[in-house]
Amino acid sequence: MKRIKDIPEFSRPREKLKEKGVQALSDTELIAIILGSGIKGQDVRAIASKIARLIVDNKDKLSLETLLTVEGIGIAKASQILAGFELARRYIVKESIKIKEAKDVLPLLNDIAGKKQEYFVCISLNGTNEVIEKRIVTVGLLDKTQVHPREVFADVITDRAAAVIFAHNHPSGELKPSSSDLKIHEQLTEAGKILGINVLDQIIVSKKGYYSFQEEGLI
């Protein structure tokens, strides 16, 4: 069984990572680092190469069962690979979402549309209107003291965002903004102007649909 340490030092993926950075490694080399060793008759790079091909063929459908079809891969090593993919999915890999109109935001708000409490959400965007981050700011009945500009814009500034979209749900199903909604909108828009962060829209959602301040001429 050939292990990473059996490979000449100048060819070892870990040494290459140390010298050139993780970006310099091929998919096979990255997988070889995760595996650490091969099996009798197959070195670690041969197994890593087979797994790399499986990843290309299966992408987001990669499963434990698929990995276990590779000779030399047991549940422990298959689990290591899947765990690495899941961590990347949760914290690193983010699909770019570009906002052109209110309807583009709605998939990001499906999780709050039917909630029984009001959720106030802030979505930060870069200069080309791509989503940087979505955050829940408050949960509960909304008023202008709860949704304070300091709390809303703190993370947006950290994101170095160029613009924001605000959104909240109405558990009652009513889509038109309340007087409190209008006051919060005015307060946050003024704060955005001072900070140089453009408020693109404020959206109200419920099971019945949505209401866009921008589409209704309020922005």
Q: What is the pLDDT of residues 1-40, one digit of tens each?
A: 444 455 444 357 778 778 777 777 788 888 888 887 766 6
Answer whether residue 97 is part of any domain.
no
CATH number, residue 176: 3.40.140.10
Q: What is the pLDDT of residues 90-122, one digit of tens each?
A: 666 556 788 899 999 999 898 898 888 899 999
Q: Is the per-residue pLDDT at 211 higher than 80?
A: yes
Helix residue ranges per DSSP H, the chain: 13-20, 27-35, 44-58, 64-67, 75-91, 102-105, 110-113, 149-158, 179-195
The total of structural domains in the chain comes to 2
| Residue 199 shares a structural domain with residue 110 | yes
| Residue 130 shares a structural domain with residue 184 | yes
**Which residues contact residue 195 at a Cβ distance below 8 angstroms, ignoring those fewer than 6 apart?**
153, 157
| Residue 107 shares a structural domain with residue 86 | no
Write down which residue in 42, 71, 91 finishes a domain.
Answer: 91
Residues above pLDDT 70, as percent of the chain: 86
| Residue 82 shares a structural domain with residue 115 | no
CA atoms within 13 A on the CB side of 134: 20
Write down which residue in 64, 91, 118 finishes a domain.
Answer: 91
Answer whether residue 218 is part of any domain.
no
Helix and strand numbers (H, E) in the chain are: 9, 5
For 161-180, b/e burial (b = at least 16 CB within 10 A) is bbbbbbbbbbbeeeeebeee
Write down which residue in 68, 91, 114 finishes a domain.
Answer: 91
Q: Which residue has the tokens 């703190």?
A: 154
Q: Which domain holds residue 195?
A: 102-212
Q: What average pLDDT does the structure give for the chain? A: 84
The residue-averaged pLDDT of 191-202 equals 95
Answer whether residue 219 is part of any domain.
no
Q: Model-level pTM greater than 0.85?
A: no
| Residue 106 shares a structural domain with residue 160 | yes
